[in-house]
Amino acid sequence: MVHREFLNSFSSRLVIEKEKVVIENWNKPYIPGIINPYIFYTHPKNPIILEVFKQSGRADELGSGVRNVFKFGNLYGKSEPVFKEGDIFTTIISIPNKYIFRIEGGDYRVTGSNASLEKEDKINADAVNDAVNDALNDALNDAVKDRLKTELLEIIKNEGLSLPQLMKDLTVKRATAQRDMKILRNIGFIHFLGAPKTGKYMITKKLAQILKKS
């Protein structure tokens, strides 16, 4: 509302694609082209509406939004956002790769922290919990089982994890991480893909099928 050109009937659009979100809005361009967050010039298109939003606490100083999106968008999506000013103002925000993970036989998309699969197949912490409990014998204590479940969820959420990543993210020792990965491999829940030093542990088709039925 702050930046829209209201004299045109162009419908605002928000399009969610596989690896990005695209927002389009009719605009009154001041300096057409790609916006550089370090040298761009702020120009209020609807100063009265902007002031109303600022006074109600729903907008910050002009230009701070662009800078903040560049600041956090790169951390979030691993690539810089794009702001393109023209008759149509276009914003492109990338979706982080951690919400897309690979298994044997294809890619599945995660849509939230509880890891929902496309086609209405859901993976969540409870499903992982049940799968691990069913696959492991009672000889393992609860602390080990809980750690295995946490490691498995991290592998799912991060599109696979290398051993160093696993050790760092979960603060476990190398011997512990290696032992845990061996357990998960023995029950057929993960496999190792890639070179020994740079490869990742990833979930198997077997586990994906179990979780899809949950």
The whole-model pTM stands at: 0.45
Q: Where are the alpha helices (DSSP H) in 101-160?
A: 125-135, 142-157
pLDDT at 118: 39
Is there a contact between 160 and 198 (Cβ–Cβ < 8 Å)?
no
pLDDT at 124: 61
CATH number at residue 173: 1.10.10.10
Q: Same structural domain for residues 111 and 77?
A: no
pLDDT at 96: 65
Q: Same structural domain for residues 111 and 204?
A: yes
pLDDT, tens only, 45-81: 788 887 888 788 777 666 677 777 877 776 666 677 8
**Does the residue 6 lie in any domain?**
no
Q: Same structural domain for residues 89 and 120?
A: no
- β-bridge mates for residue 94, sequence order: 20
pLDDT at 195: 86
**Does the residue 174 lie in any domain?**
yes
Write the secondary structure of 48-66 as one string of H (helix), E (strand) and C (coil). Answer: HHHHHHHHCCCCCCCCHHH
Q: Same structural domain for residues 154 and 125?
A: yes
Q: Same structural domain for residues 76 and 145?
A: no
**Does the residue 142 lie in any domain?**
yes
Q: Same structural domain for residues 139 and 198?
A: yes
Structure tokens at 120: 């209405």
Q: Same structural domain for residues 130 and 187?
A: yes
**Does the residue 4 lie in any domain?**
no
d(CA 129, CA 145): 9
| Domain final residue, candidates 67, 95, 123 | 95
Q: Please classify residue 4 by burial: count the beta carbons closer than 10 Å to its beta carbon, then call 0-12 exposed, 13-18 middle and 19+ buried.
A: middle
**Does the residue 156 lie in any domain?**
yes
| Domain final residue, candidates 63, 95, 127 | 95
Q: Same structural domain for residues 191 and 106?
A: yes
pLDDT at 97: 54
Which range marks the domain in which residue 20 is found? 13-95
DSSP reduced 3-state for 102: strand
**Does the residue 1 lie in any domain?**
no
Q: Same structural domain for residues 86 and 118?
A: no
Query: If you count DSSP H runs as helices and E runs as strands, how many of each does the chain have, helices first?
Result: 7, 9
> Which segments in the chain show pLDDT lower than 50?
98-122
